[in-house]
Amino acid sequence: MSPPFTESHIEDCLKRIRVLFGGEIVVDTRKAKLVWETRYYPTYFFPHSELPQKYLQLASEHPTNGDTYDLVVNSVDGKNKDKEKRASGAVTMYSSPSHQHLNGLLKITFSAADAWFEEDEQVYVHPKDPYKRVDVLASSLHIRVEIDGVEIASSRTPKLLFETGLPVRTYLPKTDCRLDLLIPSELTTACPYKGEAHYYHVQVSPTKRLDNVVWWYRNPNLECAAINGLVAFYDEKVDVFVDGEKQTKPKSLWS
């Protein structure tokens, strides 16, 4: 089976994985697995033995298809509450017949941990997919962006971001955009490949505003450094012209 995986897929992770929680490294292993529970990205799973029992307390409030536990540090028989840190229902231990392919493994909810490390590099949002590649290439295409016939951007120096399995995204210099129509948004999102994105609304007219249709990266990750400070538009929500030809809107809303 080759990616994108349409069924649950498991393979060995070649990297050392460490999980930080409550000031302690609760997992430090080279035995991690990558499990594709969906087609879009993998999840870290670990053999039961890689998470010491002292960090687990049974959680009866979070039933799942496996046994669910709270992840706890600095707890001594329920005492020491002032120093305890707990992530409720953050650990699932698989041992049921209905999930035989996962038996003997456990997963920790990614967002419940304080930090995750692949070797000595911190990773964010979710594990990086070993089958995904991200390339940023300079281009001389003429890119124009319109909303309801109003030109929002026009550039002949775009950067094209190619990310495996996703639509090509076009990043433009802010100076090639109608900055007077861009309104800063409070929304931020994160990507393990690109970093933390900030957003703009577009005020097309006094009575029409499109929310969060433009994003940009103030400090992108090293592999995407070339898009630093550039802006991208949701092609699904605007009209894009490439060398004068109007483009068909992509179906995916992934950024």
Residue 26, domain CATH:
2.170.150.40
Do 48 and 140 lie in one domain? The reply is no
The pLDDT score that the predictor gives to residue 59 is: 76
Strand order in the sheet with 24-29: 24-29, 17-21, 115-118, 121-123
Tally of domains within the chain:
2
Do 195 and 158 lie in one domain? The reply is yes
Do 45 and 149 lie in one domain? The reply is no
Do 211 and 241 lie in one domain? The reply is yes
Q: Which of 64, 95, 123 marks a domain boundary? A: 123
Does residue 227 fall inside a structural domain? yes
The pLDDT score that the predictor gives to residue 101 is: 83
To the question of pTM greater than 0.85 for the whole model, the response is: no
Do 146 and 112 lie in one domain? The reply is no
Does residue 4 fall inside a structural domain? no
Do 145 and 73 lie in one domain? The reply is no
Q: Which of 94, 123, 152 marks a domain boundary? A: 123
Do 74 and 155 lie in one domain? The reply is no
Domain span at residue 18?
Answer: 9-123
Torsion angle (degrees, nearest 10) of CA 100, 90, 187, 162: -30
The pLDDT score that the predictor gives to residue 254 is: 39
Does residue 179 fall inside a structural domain? yes
Do 154 and 207 lie in one domain? The reply is yes
CA distance 112 to 180: 40
Does residue 129 fall inside a structural domain? no
Does residue 113 fall inside a structural domain? yes
The pLDDT score that the predictor gives to residue 252 is: 46
CA distance 200 to 184: 5
The pLDDT score that the predictor gives to residue 170 is: 97
Give the tokens for residue 67.
Answer: 């046994």
| pLDDT tens track, the chain, 255 positions | 556 666 678 999 999 999 999 999 999 999 999 999 888 889 999 999 999 999 998 876 655 556 899 999 985 555 556 678 999 999 999 987 667 788 899 999 999 999 999 999 999 999 999 999 999 999 999 999 999 999 999 999 999 999 998 889 999 999 999 999 999 999 999 999 999 999 999 999 999 999 999 999 999 999 999 999 999 999 999 999 999 999 987 764 434
Does residue 75 fall inside a structural domain? yes
The pLDDT score that the predictor gives to residue 76 is: 58
Does residue 128 fall inside a structural domain? no
Do 115 and 141 lie in one domain? The reply is no
Do 140 and 119 lie in one domain? The reply is no
**Helix, strand or coil, per DSSP, at residue 98:** helix
Do 106 and 158 lie in one domain? The reply is no
Does residue 252 fall inside a structural domain? no
Q: Which of 63, 90, 123 marks a domain boundary? A: 123
Do 43 and 119 lie in one domain? The reply is yes
Strand order in the sheet with 159-163: 134-138, 159-163, 169-172, 231-233, 208-217, 195-205, 182-191
